[in-house]
Amino acid sequence: MSSESSESIEVRKNPELDRFELYVDGNLAGVAAYQDTANERAFVHTEIYPRYEGQGYGRKIVQGALDQTRDEGFGILPLCPMVHHFVESRPEYLELVPHWSRQRLGLPQQ
């Protein structure tokens, strides 16, 4: 087993498949699927492959995907439970969720 400090971890956007991909040491470890609207990116499904589960990779792909989405100027709609939980527990990402959708998604209004 490699230690986390020696691992190569990368989150890449794959626009042809409408998803972000997490690579660990060059191997595809998980995906975060999305659907874009004019102003928001709806995250609809996130999956970490069995070999990589329970090692914190879900947090890494979600954070990488949300950071890239913010950099592109999109708001986010956290429809996927993994993304929803991440956003709910991190106020710095909650600001990316449009006010009109927060109540519908059960998120704090702030």
**Over the stretch 18-59, which tens digit does the pLDDT of each residue have?**
999 999 999 999 999 999 999 999 999 999 999 999 999 999
pLDDT computed for residue 89 by the predictor: 92
Query: Tokens 């998604």 map to which residue?
Result: 105
Is domain 4-102 in CATH 3.40.630.30, yes or no? yes
pLDDT above 90 (res 4): no
Percent of the chain whose pLDDT exceeds 70: 95
Q: Note whether 29 and 7 are within 8 A (CB).
A: no
pTM of the model as a whole? 0.90
Q: What are phi and psi of 75, to 5 degrees?
A: -80, 175
| Domain assignments of the chain as residue spans, ordered by start | 4-102
How far, CA to CA in Å, does 63 sit from each of 58, 100, 102, 104?
9, 23, 19, 22
The confidence band for 3, taking pLDDT boundaries of 50, 70 and 90, is: very low
Residues pairing with 46 in the sheet: 32
Mean residue pLDDT across the chain: 93
